[in-house]
Structure formats: C-alpha cells, structure tokens
Amino acid sequence: MDNLVKELRNIVSKKDVGDDYLLMNSKYAPLKISQENFHEIRNITSNSDSKIMFVDGGNSVLFESAEFCIGIIRVGSIIYTNNKRLSRNKEEFYIFIREDNGKFIVKTYPDKSFNNMIFNPDDELLKNGIEKCGVSRIVSIIRRFAELEYAYIHSKDVDFILLDGTMEARYPLEDKYLDKLLLTKKVCALSKTCTLVTKNGLSITKKLLDLGKTSSLNSWTYYPIVTNNNPKHLAELYFVKLNKKSDYVFRFEIQKEFEGDIQEIFSILYKNSNDPIFLGYPYGLIDIDQYVRVSDEETKMLQTKFSTKLGKEWNEFSKHLNSTNAHSILDNIRF
C-alpha cells in the first residue's frame, strides 16, 4: 500500500509544463488550451419565460439469460421556467430481447417505434473488445433511443432541451433518432462524467478547473477547445463551471445549428446550479434523474410479480437464468 501511495503522490504533484491540448480521436482537431478561451457566464436578470426541458431515462434488467433479456425502461422530462418546476411527465415500457439466428430481436410492450429492431451482436459499434455484445446491453441502447424520441415528441412547447450525456451517435440506428431531434434546433447536453485527458496526461476537467482559478471569473464557459469534424457528432463542445463555490467542471454540448440564445441557456443553468445537494450541477438533472430512476427495490418487486404470474412455470423458466446469474449468487453469500 505504501508503494501505491507513492504513485498517488506522484499524480498529485505532477507538473503541467508547456503547451497543452485536449486529446480526442482524429475526427476532432485539437486547439491549444488558453486563458483567452474562458468566458464569464452572465447572469441575465430579465424575467424571461423561456422554458427548459430536462430529459433523462432509467432502466433495469429484470431477467437475463444467454439467449434473452427482459427489462423495463422509463423516460421522462421536467420543465423549468424562471428556475421553478413547471411540469413533469414520464412514460415506461417493458422490453423483451431474444436471440434469433445470431441476431437480437427487440420487442416492446406496449408497442414502440423500437419494436422489431434487429441488432447484430458482432457489430463493431456494439462489441466489447473482441467479445460480441451481450443481450442485456441492448436495453440501455434502447433507453437512449427512447430518451431522444421522447425529447422530440415533447419539444414543441419548450425553448431549450437539455439531455443527460452527449450528442454523439455511438450506436447503430442512433443517428435516426438524434437527427430527428436536432431538427428542433434547441438541443444541448451535459455530461456528469468526463474521461478525456490532455496531451500532458491531465484530466481535462482538473486542467480547466486549475487554470480557471487564475482568472477573476466566478462561473465560466471554456470555448473553443477542439474543431469538431465528426459527422456523427453535430455539436460544439464546451466545458462549464456553473457555480463559483463548486469544484466541478462539466462537459457541455450545443448542437451546431442551435437557434436559441446561447448566453441565455448558460444563465439559466447557472441559476439552476445553486442547490447545496450538488453545488454547481443543474438541479433539473438531479430532479429528472430521481423521477425516472428504476430503483433496486422496484426491480425486486417487478421480478416477484413476474414470478407470481408465471406460477408453476416459474421453476422451469428460472433454469434459463442459471447461465448468467452465478455471480449474483456468490455476491449474496455471507459467512
């Protein structure tokens, strides 16, 4: 442990020397990180009635075997205006994914636009290294599609749409839903985590947090940081610090054809990031996360309901689950 602590101290004491820039793949041209690219977030005090819609989703795998998966997906939105919750709505559906001739077939209950979608587990966009995609991974992918479709359907009565995550199409068929949503020209996204690093081997969020402290700005945006040439990622990339007392910097994206007032959306998020429960993080995203989350307790309750409805057939059905559930049994063993 002492040797490992030495490694940790080396990380803490690492010096940031020379020019630096964000490392991404070849579709993003890096720009030198500079003090000049910090911009103050102006507190727009006008009594604007602009509405921002926070969108997120939750899911849980109820039953899984090597050849099928059953889950529940819940998506919803919360609308804020003048930093007050105006409304909230959600919807949910069950999803059944089964293997058929080497492909994954999606069924939804009730019927959704994702019904009868087909995924190839050997698709390079789905594989985990050399291993083909597992059936349960499709649940979270369909949840992403459901979030994008939900945002589009409910976009008419709002001025801004904020997604939890990024705006890059990373999965097969995802661009179909993302491109449709981008037609609204009012989409942005904020990621609660960021694993990007700089050429000098520093976390980009820590790099900007430290550099931002040398300025006189309390809350800020950092832009530009790369030139985005990725055709599957039609967004401008920012980093934001939304509260002067916060030690968090978040990745933020705005679609390239955004037609709203960019300064207004930053001002709205600045005002929405003052709750001490997570200072510097938009409360609307906390609110919607809790609203659509599928808890462990709810998952267990739904599992019990399904087993009860199957009745005497449950014992035979449960044998299918033994191909994947040994790890969970070991986790629950206590001596």
Evaluate whether residue 50 is within a structural domain. no
Question: What pLDDT does residue 145 have?
Answer: 98
Instruction: Note the pLDDT of residue 326.
Output: 64
* Same domain, residue pair 137 and 188: no
Residue that is last in its domain, among 158, 187, 202: 158
Q: Do 117 and 175 sit in the same domain of this protein?
A: no
**Last residue of one domain, picked from the residues 133, 158, 183:** 158
Q: Give the predicted TM-score (pTM) of the model.
A: 0.92
| Pair 311, 227 in one domain | no
Q: Can you give the pLDDT of all 335 residues of the chain as single tens digits?
A: 989 998 888 887 777 777 899 999 999 999 999 999 999 998 766 557 899 999 999 999 999 998 899 999 999 999 999 999 999 999 999 999 999 999 999 999 999 999 999 999 999 999 888 889 999 999 999 999 999 999 999 999 899 999 999 999 999 999 999 999 999 999 999 999 999 999 988 899 999 999 998 888 889 999 999 999 999 999 999 999 999 999 999 999 999 999 999 999 999 999 999 999 999 999 999 999 999 999 999 999 999 999 999 998 988 888 788 767 666 665 677 77
Domain assignment of residue 309, given as a range: 304-330
For helices 174-182 and 137-153, angle between their N-to-C axes, nearest 10 degrees: 20
Has residue 14 been placed in a domain? no
Number of separate domains in the chain: 3
CA distance 220 to 240: 6
Radius of gyration, CA atoms only, the chain = 22
Q: Are residues 152 and 120 in the same domain?
A: yes
pLDDT at 63: 95
- Domain stops at, among 106, 124, 158: 158
Q: What is the pLDDT of residue 332?
A: 73
Same domain assignment for residues 149 and 167: no
Q: Is 116 left (phi over 0), alpha (psi -120 to 50) or beta?
A: left
The answer on 144 and 120 residing in a single domain is yes
- Domain co-membership, 164 together with 273: yes
Q: What's the rounded Cα separation, in Å, for the pair 300 and 121?
A: 28
Position 3 in a domain: no
Q: Does residue 169 sit in the same domain as residue 290?
A: yes
pLDDT of residue 133: 92
Q: Do 195 and 267 sit in the same domain of this protein?
A: yes
**In a domain? residue 269:** yes
In-domain check, residue 299: no
pLDDT tens digits for range 184-194: 999 999 999 99
Is position 96 within any domain? yes
Q: State whether 147 and 189 are in the same domain.
A: no
Task: Give pLDDT, residue 318.
Answer: 84
Residue 232 lies in a domain: yes
The DSSP symbol for 173 reads: T
Residue 193, domain member (yes or no)? yes
142 & 184 share domain? no
Residue 165 and residue 154 share a domain: no
Burial label for 325, CB within 10 Å (0-12, 13-18, 19+), is middle
